């Protein structure tokens, strides 16, 4: 709970001018509890409070009694379990940090560096996106799960599925880890890069661009695949806004339009050269006119049945052909 006196000063002097108008950067404990219960309901019955207890606007007992009386939620503080008399603030903050990392659910504010670093540390330790991290300063009536792995402070961006790079389908059993970068141009957003091997030989994410639950106005206008010389040769094409297919493009070249707000309505990817005999490509898209995920592989057309849907999200994997089914 960022409710301390110094946080109030920071909010009034810095965040008041640097953040959005609909943000609640200085909520009361009541508001935080109400927003949390709006998501979890009656399952939310207790919480461990992370804050600077020496700088609270009211005593912890006053806050605890008020929350228990109003919402039937029991609050616990670190001073309930350890003596803080001889401990410096930095050490106390480290205690809170480790507790936050070990907790299955963490609720904070995206404007707090503590909250952001909790998320980023979780991501670094497990080398994968995590769940159960929420912020209470996002627009709306409830807390919202953050999707950016703690890398940003703007609440709208922190909760955007675009930055989670969540794949549309699980990888095939015979998946091959092929180093590659998917560079897509997304309307409203601009250029977006998704890299699956930031360090050679070390898997670090999926090839995903866009978000399946994003607005139709945030469609994909085109993309390019960039691969090192050691990767298989690729070709890809796109179904343009007028329902005509582009030519096949080689790796490193852009397929689609740029800066014209014109969506692509489908795409296809295929492996060429000697690698085509044992390496395949499987991919999927989500379109604006359906909730279904459309699957395709090895040069097949990935498009909505109506051929009118705008491409909102795409996922790409490679697999070993001989054992794929």
How far apart CA 249 and CA 258 sit, in angstroms, is 16
Residues 11 and 155 in one domain: yes
Residues 191 and 98 in one domain: no
pLDDT in the model for residue 161:
82
Residues 125 and 189 in one domain: no
Residues 153 and 35 in one domain: yes
Res 282 pLDDT > 70: yes
Residues 197 and 152 in one domain: no
**How confident is the prediction for the chain on average, in pLDDT?**
90
Full strand arrangement of the beta sheet holding 144-145: 106-108, 133-135, 144-145
169 is a domain residue: no
Residues 151 and 213 in one domain: no
Residues 227 and 129 in one domain: no
Closest Cα to residue 209, out of 184, 231, 189, 234?
Answer: 184
Q: Are 181 and 225 in contact (CB under 8 A)?
A: yes
Give the model's confidence band at 224: pLDDT under 50 very low, under 70 low, under 90 confident, else very high: very high
Residues 187 and 80 in one domain: no
Residues 155 and 188 in one domain: no
pLDDT in the model for residue 45:
95
317 is a domain residue: yes
Q: Which of 94, 125, 159 is the last residue of a domain?
A: 159
Structural domain of residue 277, as residue ranges?
Answer: 175-323
Residues 179 and 147 in one domain: no
Count of the separate structural domains present in the chain: 2
Q: Are 304 and 212 in contact (CB under 8 A)?
A: no
Rounded to 5°, the CA angle 55-92-5 comes to 15
Res 162 pLDDT > 70: yes
3-state secondary structure (DSSP) of residue 192? strand
242 is a domain residue: yes
166 is a domain residue: no
3-state secondary structure (DSSP) of residue 13? helix
258 is a domain residue: yes
Q: Which of 23-27, 81-85, 137-141, 316-320 is most confident?
A: 316-320
Q: Are 237 and 248 in contact (CB under 8 A)?
A: yes
The string of pLDDT tens digits covering residues 292-305 is 999 999 999 999 98
Token pair, residue 192, equals 């977006």
Token pair, residue 264, equals 């692509």
The DSSP bridge partners found for residue 314 are 209, 285
Residues 100 and 210 in one domain: no
Closest Cα to residue 98, out of 121, 77, 129?
Answer: 121
The owner of tokens 């049945």 is 305
How far apart CA 218 and CA 208 sit, in angstroms, is 15
Token pair, residue 158, equals 């922190």
pLDDT in the model for residue 296:
97
170 is a domain residue: no
CB burial string 51-87: b at 16+ within 10 A, e below: bbbeebeeebeebbebbeeebebebebbeeeeeeeee
Give the model's confidence band at 89: pLDDT under 50 very low, under 70 low, under 90 confident, else very high: confident
Residues 64 and 142 in one domain: yes
Rounded to 5°, the CA angle 12-16-17 comes to 130
Q: Are 230 and 236 in contact (CB under 8 A)?
A: no
Backbone angles phi, psi at 178, to 5 degrees: -105, 120
167 is a domain residue: no
Q: Give the number of residues written for the chain.
A: 325
3-state secondary structure (DSSP) of residue 30? helix
The owner of tokens 């549309």 is 168
**DSSP 8-state class, residue 258:** S
**pTM across the whole model:** 0.71
């Amino acid at each position: 709970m960022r409710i301390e006196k110094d946080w109030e000063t920071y909010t009034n002097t810095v965040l008041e001018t640097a953040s959005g108008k609909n943000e609640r950067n200085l909520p009361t404990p009541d508001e935080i509890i109400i927003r949390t219960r709006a998501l979890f309901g009656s399952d939310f019955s207790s919480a461990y409070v992370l804050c600077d207890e020496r700088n609270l606007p009211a005593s912890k007992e006053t806050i605890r009694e008020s929350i228990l009386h109003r919402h039937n939620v029991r609050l616990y503080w670190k001073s309930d379990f350890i003596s803080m008399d001889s401990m410096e603030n930095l050490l106390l903050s480290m205690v809170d940090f480790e507790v936050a990392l070990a907790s299955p659910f963490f609720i904070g504010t995206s404007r707090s560096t503590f909250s952001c670093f909790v998320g980023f540390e979780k991501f670094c330790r497990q080398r994968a996106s995590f769940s159960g991290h929420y912020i209470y300063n996002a627009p709306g009536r409830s807390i919202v799960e953050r999707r950016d792995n703690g890398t940003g402070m703007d609440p709208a961006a922190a909760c955007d599925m675009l930055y989670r790079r969540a794949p549309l389908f699980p990888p095939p059993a015979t998946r091959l880890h092929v180093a590659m970068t998917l560079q897509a141009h997304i309307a409203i957003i601009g250029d977006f890069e998704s890299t699956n091997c930031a360090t050679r030989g070390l898997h670090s994410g999926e090839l995903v661009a866009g978000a399946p639950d994003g607005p139709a106005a945030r469609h994909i206008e085109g993309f390019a695949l960039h691969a090192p010389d050691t990767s298989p040769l690729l070709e890809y094409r796109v179904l343009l806004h007028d329902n005509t297919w582009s030519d096949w493009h080689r790796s490193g070249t852009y397929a689609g339009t740029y800066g014209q707000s014109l969506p692509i309505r489908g795409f296809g990817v295929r492996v060429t050269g000697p690698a085509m005999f044992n390496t395949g490509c499987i991919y999927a898209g989500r379109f604006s006119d359906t909730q279904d995920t459309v699957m395709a592989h090895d040069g097949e057309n990935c498009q909505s049945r109506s051929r009118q849907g705008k491409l909102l999200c795409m996922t790409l994997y490679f697999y070993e052909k001989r054992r794929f089914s």
